[in-house]
Chains A and B, each alone.
Chain A
Amino acid sequence: MSDHAIRCEVIGKQYRIGERERYKALRDVITDALKGPFRRIREAGGREESNRNRKPTIWALQDVSFEVKEGEVVGVIGRNGAGKSTLLKILSRITEPTRGYAEIHGRVGSLLEVGTGFHPELTGRENIFLNGAILGMKKVEIARKFDEIVAFAEVEDFIDTPVKRYSSGMYVRLAFAVAAHMETEILLVDEVLAVGDAHFQKKCLGKMGEVAKHGRTILFVSHNMNAIEQLCNRVILVDQGSVKRDSQDVRPVLTEYLFEKENERSSIWLNDGDRYNNRYFQPQRFAIVDAGGRPLSGPVRNDCEMWVEVEAHLEQLDPALTIGYAIYSEDRNLLYWSYQTDQPPKQWPVLTYGRHRLRSRLPSNFLNEGTYRIELIGGLHFREWLFTPGVAGPHIYLTIRGGLSDSPYWIAKRPGLLAPVLAWEQVPQSFEHCRSEHLKSNEV
Chain B
Amino acid sequence: MPDISTSQPSEVAVKETEHLRPTWRIQPSQGWISLRLGELWEYRELLYFLAWRDVKIRYKQTGLGVAWAVLQPVLGMLIFTIFFGRLAKVPSDGIPYPLFSYSALLAWQLFAYSITESSNSVVANERLITKVYFPRLVIPMASILAGLVDFAIAFVLVIAMMAYYGVHPGWGILSLPLFIVFELATALGVGLWLSALNVEYRDVRYTVPFIVQFWMFASPVVYSSTLVPARWRPLYGLNPMAGVVEGFRWALLNKQPAPGSMFAVSSTVVVALLVGGLYYYRRMEKNFADVV
A: which residues have CB within 8 A of B? Answer: 1-3, 15, 19-20, 23-27, 29, 70-71, 89-108, 110, 112-113, 116-117, 119, 121-122, 126, 129-130, 133-136, 138-139, 144, 183, 185, 214-216
Q: Which one of A94, A105, A121 has the greatest number of beta carbons of chain B within 10 Å? A: A94
With beta carbons under 8 angstroms apart, the residue of B27, B53, B132, B291 that contacts A110 is B132
Q: Do A130 and B53 touch across chains, with their CB atoms under 8 A apart?
A: yes
Q: Nearest residue in B to A95 (C-beta to C-beta)?
A: B289
Least CB distance, A144 to chain B, in whole angstroms = 7
With A94-B131, A107-B22, A116-B131 as contacts: A126 and B201 at CB distance below 8 Å = no
For the complex with contacts A94-B130, A122-B53, A215-B7, 17 further pairs of A-B residues with Cβ separation under 8 Å are A1-B1, A23-B291, A26-B207, A27-B203, A71-B4, A94-B131, A103-B26, A105-B23, A108-B133, A116-B128, A121-B56, A126-B53, A134-B128, A135-B132, A136-B132, A185-B21, A214-B8
Least CB distance, A384 to chain B, in whole angstroms = 24
Query: Is residue B13 contacting chain A, with contact meaning CB distance below 8 A?
Result: yes
Residues of A within 8 A of B286 (CB): 95-96
Q: Do A104 and B24 touch across chains, with their CB atoms under 8 A apart?
A: yes
Residues of A within 8 A of B21 (CB): 105-107, 185
Q: Nearest residue in B to A15 (C-beta to C-beta)?
A: B290
| Residues in B32-68 with C-beta less than 8 Å from chain A | 43, 45-46, 48-50, 52-53, 56-57, 60-61
Q: Which 6 A-B pairs have the closest CB atoms?
A: A101-B27, A215-B7, A26-B201, A93-B133, A133-B49, A102-B26
Q: Nearest residue in B to A133 (C-beta to C-beta)?
A: B49
Complex CA distance for A20 and B290, rounded to whole angstroms: 6
Q: Do A94 and B61 touch across chains, with their CB atoms under 8 A apart?
A: no
Q: Do B8 and A97 touch across chains, with their CB atoms under 8 A apart?
A: no
Q: Do B24 and A108 touch across chains, with their CB atoms under 8 A apart?
A: yes
Complex CA distance for A106 and B1, rounded to whole angstroms: 13
Complex CA distance for A105 and B28, rounded to whole angstroms: 18
Complex CA distance for A277 and B57, rounded to whole angstroms: 33
Q: Nearest residue in A to B125 (C-beta to C-beta)?
A: A117
Q: Do B127 and A116 touch across chains, with their CB atoms under 8 A apart?
A: yes
Q: Do A95 and B7 touch across chains, with their CB atoms under 8 A apart?
A: no
Query: Is residue B12 contacting chain A, with contact meaning CB distance below 8 A?
Result: yes
Q: Do B53 and A119 touch across chains, with their CB atoms under 8 A apart?
A: yes
Q: Do A119 and B49 touch across chains, with their CB atoms under 8 A apart?
A: no
Q: Do A97 and B132 touch across chains, with their CB atoms under 8 A apart?
A: no
Residues of A within 8 A of B128 (CB): 116-117, 134
Q: Do B57 and A103 touch across chains, with their CB atoms under 8 A apart?
A: no
Q: Nearest residue in A to B133 (C-beta to C-beta)?
A: A93
Least CB distance, A225 to chain B, in whole angstroms = 25
Complex CA distance for A315 and B149, rounded to whole angstroms: 50
Least CB distance, A130 to chain B, in whole angstroms = 5
Residues of B within 8 A of A105 (CB): 21-24
Q: Do A183 and B201 touch across chains, with their CB atoms under 8 A apart?
A: no
Q: Nearest residue in B to A100 (C-beta to C-beta)?
A: B27
Complex CA distance for A110 and B131, rounded to whole angstroms: 8
**Per-position contact with A for B119-158: 1 when CB-CB < 8 Å, else 0?**
0000000011111111000000000000000000000000
Q: Nearest residue in B to A214 (C-beta to C-beta)?
A: B8
Complex CA distance for A25 and B206, rounded to whole angstroms: 11
Complex CA distance for A98 and B22, rounded to whole angstroms: 23
Q: Nearest residue in A to B205 (C-beta to C-beta)?
A: A26
Query: Is residue B204 contacting chain A, with contact meaning CB distance below 8 A?
Result: yes
21 A–B pairs (Cβ distance < 8 Å), ordered by A = A3-B1, A24-B202, A25-B202, A27-B203, A90-B26, A94-B133, A97-B26, A101-B27, A103-B25, A105-B23, A108-B133, A110-B131, A110-B132, A110-B133, A122-B53, A126-B53, A133-B45, A135-B132, A136-B46, A183-B12, A216-B4
Least CB distance, A87 to chain B, in whole angstroms = 11
Residues of A within 8 A of B57 (CB): 119, 121-122
Complex CA distance for A108 and B132, rounded to whole angstroms: 11
Residues of B within 8 A of A108 (CB): 24, 133
Query: Is residue B213 contacting chain A, with contact meaning CB distance below 8 A?
Result: no
With beta carbons under 8 angstroms apart, the residue of B2, B203, B207 that contacts A70 is B2
**Per-position contact with A for B85-107: 1 when CB-CB < 8 Å, else 0?**
00000000000000000000000
Residues of B within 8 A of A70 (CB): 2, 4
Residues of B within 8 A of A26 (CB): 197, 201, 203-204, 207
Residues of A within 8 A of B202 (CB): 23-25
With beta carbons under 8 angstroms apart, the residue of A97, A121, A144 that contacts B61 is A121
Q: Nearest residue in B to A97 (C-beta to C-beta)?
A: B28
Residues of A within 8 A of B268 (CB): none
With A106-B22, A110-B133 as contacts: A130 and B49 at CB distance below 8 Å = yes
Q: Do B29 and A96 touch across chains, with their CB atoms under 8 A apart?
A: yes
Least CB distance, B169 to chain A, in whole angstroms = 37
Residues of B within 8 A of A1 (CB): 1
Q: Do B131 and A112 touch across chains, with their CB atoms under 8 A apart?
A: yes
Residues of B within 8 A of A134 (CB): 46, 49, 128, 132, 134
Least CB distance, B60 to chain A, in whole angstroms = 5
Least CB distance, A180 to chain B, in whole angstroms = 14
Residues of A within 8 A of B28 (CB): 96-99, 101
Q: Nearest residue in B to A120 (C-beta to C-beta)?
A: B57
Query: Is residue B261 contacting chain A, with contact meaning CB distance below 8 A?
Result: no
Residues of B within 8 A of A98 (CB): 28
Residues of B within 8 A of A71 (CB): 2, 4, 7
Q: Nearest residue in B to A144 (C-beta to C-beta)?
A: B12
With beta carbons under 8 angstroms apart, the residue of B13, B50, B197, B200 that contacts A183 is B13
Q: Nearest residue in B to A112 (C-beta to C-beta)?
A: B131
Query: Is residue B226 contacting chain A, with contact meaning CB distance below 8 A?
Result: no
Q: Do A94 and B132 touch across chains, with their CB atoms under 8 A apart?
A: yes
Residues of B within 8 A of A102 (CB): 25-27
Residues of B within 8 A of A215 (CB): 4, 7-8
Q: Nearest residue in B to A12 (C-beta to C-beta)?
A: B28
Residues of A within 8 A of B48 (CB): 133
Q: Do B133 and A101 touch across chains, with their CB atoms under 8 A apart?
A: no
**Per-position contact with A for B3-17: 1 when CB-CB < 8 Å, else 0?**
010011110110011
Least CB distance, A333 to chain B, in whole angstroms = 34
Residues of A within 8 A of B61 (CB): 121
Residues of B within 8 A of A97 (CB): 26-28
With A19-B290, A103-B23, A103-B24 as contacts: A2 and B56 at CB distance below 8 Å = no
